[in-house]
Amino acid sequence: MAANLASTVGNQRPKRSAIAEFKRAFTGLRRGETIAGYLFLAPNFIGFIIFLLFPICFAFFIMLTDWSLAKPPAFVGLENFETMANDRLFWKSLGNSFYYTFVAVPTGIFIAFWLALALNRKMRGIIFFRTIYFLPQITLTVAAATIWRWIYQPEIGMINHMLDWFGIDGPKWIHDTKWAMPSVIIMSNWQGIGFAMLILLAGLQGIPEEYYEAASIDGASGWQRMRYVTLPMLTPALFFVVVTSLIGAFQSFDQFFVLTQGGPAHATTPLTLYIFQNAFTFFKMGYGAALASVVFVIILIITVVQWRLARRWVIGFDNDDE
Amino acid sequence: MASAIKVKDSLFGQKQTKMLMDLLVYVVLSIVGVIFIMPFAWMVANSFKDLRGIYKFPPEFVPEVWHFENYTEAWTATHFDIGFLNSALVAAAVVLGQVITASLAGYSFARLRYPGRDKIFLLYISLMMVPFTVLLIPLYIQMRAFGWVSTLQAVILPFLFTPWGTFMMRQFMVTIPRELEDAARIDGCGFFRTYWLIILPLTKPALATLAIFTFVNTWNSYQWPLIVLAKPKVKTLPLLLASFQNQSAMRTPWHLIMAASTFVVVPVLIAFVVGQKYYVRGIVTTGIKGGG
């Protein structure tokens, strides 16, 4: 995306001094356009400054303070980060965030891939199935988690009841430290798979039919067409899904808050929930902001690493630059 | 001759294989479909049971007696009427605001020339990926300073502008042929009239995408309202639904909770089914999904 942007943004004219250009823009024929440009941008830009640019800068200050909101902030330098290094719960929640992200995303994409393949066949009723798979995605997570909390009930829940048909004694799901995280992951994938499925489906539909015809003429088997046509052609869509899903998963909050409240015994407290608890239950604004900066850095790293790796496996990735 | 028969044979075989495969795929799709729809069906089915029916073992799928009064009971159990009003008001304001600010700025970025434009646009793009988690604390302190805690402004005003929506508008408007505008300009249209009469009508699909996305996201939004809306009078539906299940009675009133979940979920389901085309296009072209 960034590569595309560079080319869309950068139709630069020969360099003139900024001030001279600014003056020119306000005189003569272009005056009207300049004023209109700023006016059209103004409502958006004011919101941008007050509710995005300023809070981001403000966050850098907050993370260097001890601030309970009851008293004025006390500047403590990097103390919050020292606290963090020795905070067992921070490491635990960081681990939980990674556990959740790196299990939920690959399993979700794996299932979404097969669903997209199935939906890409020329058959009747595909849109019907597509709609059904997508419904959970737009359902509010609070309601979805509420339903699932009940489905997971050890005694009266649906899952254990169905397992009972096969003579399996189901686990205690969200009440068991071992099973709580898998429970959240199953629910999240139920809810989120529609997103990955849609993008992969669009990717599949974008593969020209001729490629398959050519492969068939060359005598490629079904498996070979999959391996040498479908998969390579799908890599851009896969890349897109992987990056956005990883970023989204790392920021998940609602399902944890409603389904498990982070328990039992912090087994499902991700970093986002730990930040929330510190800031809005214990009113440690400084520590909360310091923790939030970790989320930011990790998301940044995930994104950069993915972009770097993309050159190795995404077809046509470098061509975007032209 | 012989080879012709062979070809015909193999064609016939292919057709049969295809039919068999289709059948297999249908079966798999249906099984997965049942898994996806089951929680919803379970929710609706149980919203009609009474408390005894809920805790019955083994559970039954179709209620013995249909208790329609669950819905009125759930509706009055907490302030769902106020919650609905709040949610509708917030969603309407945010959708309208975003459509206006994003389309105006999108036009400005896409078409008008002025110093600093491209730099500002780059700034927008680079801040687009800042996770909302980072903004929670500073924004909350700001809301306190403005005196907006527990007011609807706090969930409306910060969301009246959108970097990714602006980005989407700009990318869409860049693709509109310039000739149309030039014609209007020659006929004496000012910039605003050009925007209003030429650009906006042509941008309708993108506007619809932005509107339906924003509606679903705002309606479902939970984390931020949870932080800034404390008083019952201003709570939105997700907050009420979440707190409803924590008002612990002796036995959790799951039948009422399921009834409440049903009427909270239905508006987004309707919005989705109506605007599915635009929603799907939004996901496919921008890759932005709900949440936050």
pLDDT at B7 over 80: no
How far is CA A304 from each of CA A184, A239, A299, A311, B230, rounded to the nearest angstrom? 27, 13, 9, 12, 38
Q: Alpha-carbon dihedral of residues A87, A89, A92, A96, nearest 10 degrees? A: -130
pLDDT in tens, A10-21: 445 555 677 777
Cβ contact, residue pair A148, B39, below 8 Å: yes
Cβ atoms of B43 and B225 within 8 Å: the answer is no
Separation in Å, CA of A253 to nearest CA in chain B: 7
Residue A5 is predicted with a pLDDT of: 46
Q: Is A280 helix (H, G, I), strand (E, B) or coil?
A: helix
Cβ atoms of A203 and A234 within 8 Å: the answer is yes
Q: Is A314 helix (H, G, I), strand (E, B) or coil?
A: coil
Alpha-carbon span A38 to A21, nearest angstrom = 15
Minimal Cβ distance to A143: which of B26, B163, B241: B241
pLDDT at B8 over 80: no
Instruction: Evaluate the CA torsion angle A193, A197, A198, A200 in order and state its sign.
Output: positive
- Where do the domains of chain A lie? 14-62, 81-321
Cβ contact, residue pair B222, A199, below 8 Å: no
Residue A126 is predicted with a pLDDT of: 83
Minimal Cβ distance to B264: which of A143, A248, A285: A143
Separation in Å, CA of B22 to nearest CA in chain A: 7
Topology of domain A81-321 in CATH is MetI-like fold (1.10.3720)
pLDDT at B280 over 50: yes
Residue A10 is predicted with a pLDDT of: 47
Cβ contact, residue pair A276, B223, below 8 Å: yes
Alpha-carbon span A286 to A74, nearest angstrom = 9
> Residues 31 to 50 of B: which have CB under 8 A from any A CB?
32-33, 35-40, 42-43, 46
Architecture of domain B69-286: Orthogonal Bundle (1.10)
User: ipTM of this predicted complex?
Assistant: 0.85
Q: Is A230 helix (H, G, I), strand (E, B) or coil?
A: helix
Number of helical (H) and strand (E) elements in chain A, helices listed first: 16, 2
- Mutation target to probe the A interface, by most A beta carbons within 10 A, among B14, B137, B227 is B137
Give the residue on A whose Cα is nearest the Cα of B219. A140
Cβ atoms of B31 and B240 within 8 Å: the answer is no
Give the residue on B whose Cα is nearest the Cα of A292. B134
Q: Who wins on pLDDT, A91 or A5?
A: A91
Return the half-sphere exposure (C-beta side, CA atoms, 13 A cut-off) of residue B91: 24
Cβ atoms of B253 and B51 within 8 Å: the answer is yes
Alpha-carbon span B139 to B291, nearest angstrom = 18
Put simply, whether B287 touches A (Cβ < 8 Å) is: yes
Residue A37 is predicted with a pLDDT of: 92
pLDDT in tens, B130-180: 889 999 999 999 999 999 999 999 999 999 998 888 998 998 898 888 888
Put simply, whether B58 touches A (Cβ < 8 Å) is: yes
pLDDT in tens, A190-213: 998 988 898 898 888 888 888 888
Beta-bridge partner residues of A65: A75
Can you say whether residue A243 is alpha, beta or left, with left for phi > 0 and alpha for psi between -120 and 50 degrees? alpha
Residues of chain A in contact with residue B137, where contact means CB-CB under 8 angstroms, are 59, 62, 275, 279, 285, 288-289, 292
Minimal Cβ distance to B32: which of A34, A43, A115: A115
Alpha-carbon span A145 to B172, nearest angstrom = 36
pLDDT in tens, A107-166: 999 999 999 998 888 788 888 888 888 889 888 888 899 889 888 988 878 888 888 888
Separation in Å, CA of B239 to nearest CA in chain A: 8
Please list, in sequence order, all residues whose beta carbon lies within 8 angstroms of the beta carbon of residue B191, skipping any fewer than 6 positions away. Answer: A32, A33, A36, A40, B112
Residue B60 is predicted with a pLDDT of: 74
Residue A320 is predicted with a pLDDT of: 47
Place of tokens 């390579």: A232
The rounded radius of gyration (Å) of the Cα atoms in chain B is 26
Alpha-carbon span B221 to B229, nearest angstrom = 12
For Cα atoms B164, B166, B167, give the angle at the middle one, nearest 5 degrees: 60
Residue B90 is predicted with a pLDDT of: 96
Q: Alpha-carbon dihedral of residues A299, A303, A306, A307, nearest 10 degrees? A: -170
The token pair that represents A101 in the structure block? 């992200």
- Least confidently predicted of A202-211, A288-297, B224-233, B250-259: B250-259
Residue A322 is predicted with a pLDDT of: 35
The mean pLDDT value of chain A amounts to: 87
pLDDT in tens, B108-138: 999 998 998 999 999 998 888 888 999 999 9
Separation in Å, CA of B1 to nearest CA in chain A: 23
Cβ contact, residue pair B108, A37, below 8 Å: yes
- Segment B76-98 shows an average pLDDT of 91
Separation in Å, CA of A166 to nearest CA in chain B: 14
Percent of chain A with pLDDT over 90: 42
- Segment A176-196 shows an average pLDDT of 92
Cβ contact, residue pair A251, B107, below 8 Å: no
pLDDT band at A7 (very low <50, low <70, confident <90, very high): very low
- Where do the domains of chain B lie? 2-46, 69-286
Residue A4 is predicted with a pLDDT of: 46
pLDDT band at B248 (very low <50, low <70, confident <90, very high): low
Residue B51 is predicted with a pLDDT of: 80
Residue A95 is predicted with a pLDDT of: 96
Alpha-carbon span B275 to B226, nearest angstrom = 28
Residues of chain B in contact with residue A289, where contact means CB-CB under 8 angstroms, are 137-138
- Segment A246-252 shows an average pLDDT of 92
Residue B10 is predicted with a pLDDT of: 54
Cβ contact, residue pair B101, A295, below 8 Å: no
Put simply, whether B145 touches A (Cβ < 8 Å) is: no
Minimal Cβ distance to B287: which of A53, A244, A299: A244
> Residues 234 to 253 of B: which have CB under 8 A from any A CB?
237-238, 241-242, 245
- Mutation target to probe the B interface, by most B beta carbons within 10 A, among A45, A120, A142 is A142
What is the three-state SS of chain B?
CHHHHHHHHHHHHHHHHHHHHHHHHHHHHHHHHHHHHHHHHHHHHHCCCCHHHHCCCCCCCCCCCCCCHHHHHHHHHCCHHHHHHHHHHHHHHHHHHHHHHHHHHHHHHHHCCCCCHHHHHHHHHHHHCCCHHHHHHHHHHHHHHHCCCCCCHHHHHHHCCCHHHHHHHHHHHHCCCHHHHHHHHHCCCCHHHHHHHHHHHHCHHHHHHHHHHHHHHHHHCCHHHHHHCCCHHHCCHHHHHHHHCCCCCCCCCHHHHHHHHHHHHHHHHHHHHHHHHHHHHHHHHHCCCCCC
Place of tokens 């001279």: A20
Residues of chain B in contact with residue A113, where contact means CB-CB under 8 angstroms, are none
Q: Is A66 helix (H, G, I), strand (E, B) or coil?
A: strand
Put simply, whether B146 touches A (Cβ < 8 Å) is: no
Residue A2 is predicted with a pLDDT of: 44
pLDDT at B101 over 50: yes
pLDDT band at B1 (very low <50, low <70, confident <90, very high): very low
pLDDT band at B251 (very low <50, low <70, confident <90, very high): low
pLDDT at A297 over 90: yes
Please list, in sequence order, all residues whose beta carbon lies within 8 angstroms of the beta carbon of residue B147, skipping any fewer than 6 positions away. Answer: none
Residues of chain A in contact with residue B268, where contact means CB-CB under 8 angstroms, are 138-140
**Most confidently modeled range among A165-169, B144-148, B247-251:** B144-148
The mean pLDDT value of chain B amounts to: 85
Q: At what angle do helices A285-313 and A88-119 cross, to 10 degrees?
A: 40
pLDDT at B221 over 70: yes
Residue B227 is predicted with a pLDDT of: 93
Cβ contact, residue pair A37, B130, below 8 Å: no
Put simply, whether B265 touches A (Cβ < 8 Å) is: yes
Residue B12 is predicted with a pLDDT of: 55
Residue B247 is predicted with a pLDDT of: 67
- Mutation target to probe the A interface, by most A beta carbons within 10 A, among B134, B181, B276 is B134
pLDDT at A294 over 90: yes
